[in-house]
Amino acid sequence: MNDAEALQELLMALRRAFVPLPDTRVIERPGWMQLVTPSLRDGGMNEVCLAVLDPDEADAVIDATLAEYRDLGIRFRWNVGPDSAPSDLVARLLARGLRAETTIGLAGATAGLTTAPPAGVTVEPVDETNVEVFTDVMARGWDMDPTPLLAFHQRILDTARERVPMHLARLDGRPAGTAAGAMFQRSAYLMGAVVLPEARGRGLYRALVAARAELAVARGIRLLTTHARSTTSAPILMRLGFSEVCRFTVLTEPPPPSQP
């Protein structure tokens, strides 16, 4: 694919990788896409995926959107990508107390990524037999309540296990990492990867990338895309051969001040 096609695949994957829960609301209109899922209060499927706003109307839309998430007590994020508007959207969101982090849209060929895991590391697909273990690791890694997260993962197994495969990584037999992917016709989107702190630096993240690449290859998919943090996963993926396609600013609520 050329750069424009890779960008289109990445933007499409970012916005179409979700598996709705019964209470998920998808708010979509020209220039706008938003997910609201009250049952996942700790995050996940609570985000503004696309915002192309008229400068004169942007403040009112921003205020109404933030008020809804805050009233529901939901952890959410607002993605500002290369097709967002107005140009000062990030500044407007920062002025309302959100904090910003840079993430990088990456793309890479599946060829050469399907390597064997290092010694002591194993990766297995997630099904009914290990979904609770998978959920526990992900909840610990992302600091989330495991109960609604388990319901979400069971929903994926029930309705979208082929489209959104999940993987569990173990280090010396101990569950220590998780990842998921969304399979599209021309690309596979890597998401949800986390490795517990005590297991980092042992090759689990790379093994989870390889497992999803292998699955993509088996389905005839030659391109992987992802939305990676600039200070953590992005450098690893770039060493594996991924290239930068675009940059996003992801804005979230700061954590509440710690209690004395």
* Residue 81 confidence (pLDDT) above 90: yes
Cβ atoms within 10 Å of 66's Cβ, excluding its own: 18
Residue 180: phi and psi, rounded to 5, are -140, 175
* Residue 259 confidence (pLDDT) above 50: no
CA neighbours closer than 13 Å in the CB half-sphere of residue 213: 25
Of the candidates 89, 36, 82, 27, the residue with the CA atom closest to the CA atom of residue 58: 89
Q: How far apart are CA 110 and CA 106, in angstroms?
A: 13
- Tens of pLDDT, residue by residue over 85-112, are 999 999 999 999 999 999 999 999 998 8
Looking at residue 237, what is its pLDDT? 95
Give the confidence band of 44 by pLDDT, cuts at 50, 70, 90.
confident
Of the candidates 127, 192, 129, the residue with the CA atom closest to the CA atom of residue 162: 127
Alpha helices in the chain (DSSP H): 3-16, 58-72, 89-94, 131-142, 146-159, 204-218, 233-239
**Alpha carbon separation from 141 to 48, 196, 200, 224 (Å, rounded):** 23, 6, 12, 23
The alpha carbon of 80 is separated from its chain's Cα centroid by a whole number of angstroms, namely 14
- Averaged pLDDT score across all residues of the chain: 94
**Alpha carbon separation from 188 to 20, 125, 138 (Å, rounded):** 19, 16, 20
End-to-end CA distance of the chain: 54
* Residue 258 confidence (pLDDT) above 60: no
Task: Give every CB contact of residue 87 below 8 A, 6+ residues apart in sequence.
Answer: none
Q: How far apart are CA 137 and CA 131, in angstroms?
A: 10
Q: What is the mean pLDDT of residues 229-244?
A: 92
Q: What is the 8-class DSSP label of residue 39?
A: T
The model's pTM is: 0.91
- Tens of pLDDT, residue by residue over 129-180, are 999 999 999 999 999 999 999 999 999 999 999 999 999 999 999 999 999 9
